[in-house]
């Protein structure tokens, strides 16, 4: 089946006073209808820039999308998101692709009612009358689990808790029945208990609406219960792409293995110290000539300092960009 | 909210009383009006008789009490110079000052806000340089100097605008511009900087991610947030303008409150000065209350006491 979204060789750079930031360097992935793809990686690895590029939400200047295609296939035909005019992009944003951002405190306009902020998406894309739009907003508020939706329609963001605000942001994202919902670290700013509630909500919406979703997080721990596939990013590149189960069972990239090792395990008796991967994330100002992870990698060999490993398939539905074979020990052939 | 306003009104009344007291006693520190008002060769007995007739010889606290009792019912005594009720004279001058202040403020707002918005949305552009230039000029050019330069240029050289008086609609242009320039500069600077700030806020990115039209984003999401800090500048500055500008009204012979104050001080016209000072503070205090009300309308966080 043709994927709903097909991203190929996306390259986005920022031309800053300090130099060129190679934020995303040749990212390719597919998104099938109905699936949830998690994008995982340390802060600064290019997760946000990848998805913001798709919607033309990169601040330009300093940002520039240098290469790539992003085909969105809808019942009405297919289009390359990176080639759309500004007006066409505006129809896609909020209408065909909904967005949930990280911090619900700052992502809502402090001086407009939440009802108004949901309604304006509806009137913009679906051209509903004021009355119908209001009824629809109230339905949406109920759908994302906000109690007393009729009363809350007139509430301002500061009158709601962080979790409730994030529900409002989710209502905005799903308001127009988009083909894809992109959630950029939607639970990072929330308390652990609220986090779990928001994840539950996403899971429910996924089931009831058949929602296709890209879920960005820097926490592999929350991915397992939510995603179908995982894309691990490092230094602006994909280092591993796999189904969730396969990734947890047989991580192929030393970085992924490190991330998994750094997870606190709830099922183990011994209290393991939270280990993090040694070293710091790569300097995105340098154009890359070798594996971005070689600085921090326990398995790095000479080849890793000379070439950039390509993403290659190791098993059905499992790709990795690494010369080292973690299972056999030693360099991969080819 | 009602309690908040009640307490603000009470606060204002206390402040007003303070102003009344300050004005009353300070005027009296500057010297004896009787010696100024009588002819130079008047005998001490004549001066004393005058003091007696005006009540200046009574204990100061008694005079103050008398003054307060009058002020409460709007009686500020007769002007020493004009011999008519001081308040009436102030009210006669009010329309001229109101016209000048309104024209100056409109000019400052209508030029200042668009310029600040353009600058804030296109930092580094040519129009942004214009905006920053206006902001700088507004804050550095003394208004009386600007007034005189404008008179030389537009009245004397070009003959386009009248240089004094309040006889035709064109009369207000130069004094209003001279009076409003510094406020315009402040408005440009504040609009520009808060536009720059709001533009980078996360909720603006959210607005873009909803596919809203740029015009909707500017007017609904940016401008309304930018308006919050502007309200206070506009309120405060308009209060000052209502008090009349002594320089501007003097230079352009504008028959307003500022001119009256300048004359009253020259004549040591105590009742007049008192009435003017109290009227001015009242205007400032009322505008502050109005500013508070405007804040509440624009910013729900203040309306619901979250800030
Ligand atoms: N507006 C910007 N200007 C300059 N550099 C940027 C900008 N936005 C992101 N970057 C850089 O791009 C890289 C990737 O950032 P991002 O995609 O936000 O990372 P994350 O994976 O944490 O979402 C980082 O090095 C970041 O510094
Ligand atoms: Mg991010």
pLDDT tens-place string over residues B186-228: 999 999 999 999 998 999 999 999 999 999 998 899 999 999 9
Q: Is B115 helix (H, G, I), strand (E, B) or coil?
A: helix
User: Would the CB atoms of B210 and A109 count as touching at under 8 Å?
Assistant: no
> Are the beta carbons of B71 and B20 closer than 8 angstroms?
yes
> Is the residue at B198 inside a domain?
yes
Residue B289 lies in a domain: no
Average pLDDT over all residues of chain B = 88
Check whether residue B199 and residue B251 sit in a common domain. Answer: yes
User: Scanning every residue of chain B, which has its alpha carbon at the shortest distance from the alpha carbon of A116?
Assistant: B220
Q: What is this model's ipTM?
A: 0.87
φ/ψ of A270, rounded to 5, equals -65, 140
Identify the pLDDT of residue A269. Answer: 47
The pLDDT score that the predictor gives to residue B187 is 95
Report yes or no on B229 lying in a domain: yes
Residues 50-69 of chain A with CB under 8 A from chain B are 55, 57
Same domain as B232, residue B147: yes
Mutate to test the interface with A, among B194, B196, B207, B209 (most CBs of A within 10 A): B209
Using one digit for the tens of pLDDT, what is the confidence trace for B16-63? Answer: 999 888 888 887 787 776 776 677 777 888 888 888 877 778 888 888
User: Between A94, A108, A113, which is nearest B211 by CB?
Assistant: A94
Over its C-alpha atoms, chain B yields an Rg (Å, rounded) of 24
Judgement on whether residues B229 and B263 belong to the same structural domain of the protein: yes
B215 at A interface, C-beta within 8 A: no
Asked if the model's pLDDT at residue B83 lies above 80, the reply is yes
Specify whether B120 is located in the same domain as B231: yes
Tokens 């911090």 belong to A103
Whether residue B213 sits in one domain with residue B66? no
Residue ranges of chain A with pLDDT lower than 70? Answer: 262-279, 333-334
Cα of A218 from ligand 2 centre, angstroms = 9
Q: How far is B299 from chain A (nearest CA, A)?
A: 6
Assess whether pLDDT exceeds 70 at residue B278: yes
Fold (CATH) for A5-111+156-331: Rossmann fold (3.40.50)
Give B203's contacts in chain A (Cβ within 8 Å): 106-110
The CA angle A273-A245-A71, to the nearest 5 degrees, is 115
Neighbours of ion ligand 2 (CB under 5 A): A 48
Measured between CB atoms, does B297 come within 8 Å of chain A?
A: no
Helix and strand counts by DSSP (H, E) for chain A: 9, 12
Q: CA-CA distance, A203 to B132, in Å (whole number)?
A: 51
| Order of strands, sheet of A180-184, starting from the edge strand that comes earlier in the sequence | A97-100, A180-184, A212-217, A36-40, A229-234, A237-243, A318-320, A312-315
Predicted local confidence at residue A334, as pLDDT:
55
Going by their DSSP bridges, the two strands A180-184 and A212-217 should be labelled as parallel
Q: Is B201 on the interface with A (CB under 8 A)?
A: yes
User: For residue A231, what pLDDT is reported?
Assistant: 95
Q: Tell whether pTM > 0.90.
A: no
Work out whether strand A318-320 and strand A237-243 pair parallel, antiparallel, or are unpaired: antiparallel
Ligand 1 atom index nearest CA of A44: 19
Chain A residues inside the 8 Å CB shell of B305: none
- pLDDT at B236 > cutoff 70: yes
Task: Indicate whether B120 belongs to any domain.
Answer: yes
Residue ranges of domains in chain A: 5-111+156-331
Sign of CA dihedral B277, B278, B280, B284: positive
Q: Within 6 Å (CB) of ligand 1, which residues are found?
A: A 14, 16, 21, 23, 41, 43-49, 59, 62-63, 284
> What does the pLDDT read at residue A263?
57
List the single residue in B with minimal CA-CA distance to A103: B202
Q: Does B145 touch chain A (CB under 8 A)?
A: no
Q: How far apart are CA B147 and CA B142, in angstroms?
A: 9
CB proximity B210 to A under 8 Å: yes
| Whether residues B63 and B207 fall in one domain | no
Strand ordering across the sheet containing A19-31: A19-31, A5-16, A63-74, A77-80
* pLDDT given at position A332: 76
- Pick from B104, B91, B88: nearest CA to B239: B104
Element (H, E) at A143: helix A130-143
Residues B198 and B161 in one domain: yes
Domain extent, residue B16, equals 2-72
Q: What separation in Å is there between the alpha carbon of A87 and the centre of ligand 2?
A: 26
Name the token pair of A265: 């395990």
Does residue B50 form part of some domain? yes
pLDDT greater than 50 at residue B275? yes
> How far, in Å, CA of B273 to CA of A150, rounded?
58
pLDDT at position A329: 74
In a domain, B296, yes or no: no
The reply to whether B277 falls in a domain is no
Residues of chain B in contact with residue A125, where contact means CB-CB under 8 angstroms, are: 211
Structural domain count of chain B: 2
* % pLDDT > 70, chain A: 94
Q: Give the closest ligand to the alpha carbon of residue A42.
A: 1
Based on the domain organization, do B137 and B247 belong to the same domain? Answer: yes
Does residue B278 belong to any structural domain of this protein?
no
Of B209, B212, B300, the CB nearest to A111: B300
Of A95, A109, A121, the CB nearest to B203: A109
pLDDT tens sequence across B100-141: 999 999 999 999 999 999 999 888 899 999 999 999 998 899
Whether residues B146 and B261 fall in one domain: yes
Give A189 or B305, the one with higher predicted confidence.
A189
């Amino acid at each position: 089946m043709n994927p709903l979204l097909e991203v190929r060789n996306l390259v986005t750079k920022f031309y800053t006073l300090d130099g060129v930031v190679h934020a995303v360097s040749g990212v390719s992935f597919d998104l099938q209808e109905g699936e949830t793809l998690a994008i995982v990686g340390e802060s600064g690895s290019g997760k946000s820039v990848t998805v913001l590029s798709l919607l033309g939400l990169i601040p330009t200047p300093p940002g520039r999308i240098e290469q790539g295609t992003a085909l969105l296939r809808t019942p009405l035909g297919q289009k390359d998101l990176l080639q759309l005019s500004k007006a066409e992009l505006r129809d896609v944003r909020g209408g065909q692709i909904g967005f949930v951002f990280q911090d619900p405190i700052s992502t809502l306009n402090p001086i407009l009612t939440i009802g108004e902020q949901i309604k304006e998406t509806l009137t913009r894309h679906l051209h509903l009358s004021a009355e119908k739009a209001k009824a629809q907003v109230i339905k949406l508020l109920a759908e994302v689990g906000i109690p007393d939706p009729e009363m809350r329609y007139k509430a301002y963001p500061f009158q709601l808790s962080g979790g409730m605000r994030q529900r409002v942001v989710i209502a905005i994202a799903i308001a127009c029945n988009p083909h894809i919902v992109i959630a950029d670290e939607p639970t990072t700013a929330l308390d652990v208990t609220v986090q779990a509630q928001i994840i539950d909500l996403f899971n429910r919406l996924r089931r009831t609406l058949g929602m296709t979703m890209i879920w960005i997080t820097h926490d592999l721990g929350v991915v397992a219960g939510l995603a179908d596939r995982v894309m691990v990013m490092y230094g602006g590149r994909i280092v591993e792409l796999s189904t969730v189960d396969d990734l947890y069972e047989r991580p192929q990239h030393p970085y992924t293995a490190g991330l998994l090792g750094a997870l606190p395990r709830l099922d183990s008796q011994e209290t393991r110290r939270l280990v993090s991967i040694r070293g710091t994330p790569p300097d995105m100002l340098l154009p890359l000539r070798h594996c971005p992870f070689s600085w921090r990698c326990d398995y790095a060999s000479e080849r890793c300092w000379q070439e950039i490993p390509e993403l290659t398939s190791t098993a059905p539905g499992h790709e990795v960009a690494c010369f080292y074979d973690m299972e056999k020990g030693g360099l991969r052939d080819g | 909210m009602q309690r908040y306003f009640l307490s603000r009104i009470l606060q204002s009344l206390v402040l007003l009383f303070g102003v009344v007291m300050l004005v009353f006693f300070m005027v009296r520190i500057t010297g004896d009006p009787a010696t100024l008002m009588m002819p130079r060769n008047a005998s001490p007995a004549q001066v004393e008789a005058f003091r007696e007739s005006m009540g200046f010889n009574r204990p100061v606290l008694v005079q103050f009490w008398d003054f307060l009792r009058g002020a409460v019912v709007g009686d500020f005594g007769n002007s020493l110079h004009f011999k008519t009720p001081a308040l009436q004279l102030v009210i006669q001058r009010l329309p001229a000052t109101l016209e000048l202040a309104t024209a100056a403020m409109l000019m400052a707002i209508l030029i200042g806000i668009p310029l600040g918005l353009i600058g804030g949305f296109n930092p580094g552009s040519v129009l942004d340089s214009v905006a920053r230039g206006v902001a700088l000029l507004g804050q550095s050019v003394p208004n009386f100097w600007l007034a005189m330069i404008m008179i030389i240029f537009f009245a004397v050289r070009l003959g386009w605008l009248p240089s004094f008086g309040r006889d035709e609609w064109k009369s207000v242009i130069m004094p209003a511009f001279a009076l409003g320039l510094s406020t315009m500069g402040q408005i440009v600077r504040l609009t520009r900087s808060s536009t720059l700030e709001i533009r980078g806020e996360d909720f603006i990115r959210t607005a873009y991610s909803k596919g809203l039209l740029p015009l909707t984003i500017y007017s609904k999401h940016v401008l309304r947030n930018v308006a919050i800090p502007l309200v206070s500048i506009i309120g405060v500055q308009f209060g000052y303008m209502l008090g009349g500008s002594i320089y501007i009204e003097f230079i352009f012979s504008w028959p307003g409150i500022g001119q009256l104050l300048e004359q009253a001080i020259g004549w040591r016209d105590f009742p007049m000065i008192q009435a003017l000072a109290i009227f001015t503070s009242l205007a400032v205090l009322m505008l502050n209350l109005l500013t508070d009300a405007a804040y509440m309308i624009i910013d729900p966080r203040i309306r619901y006491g979250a800030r």
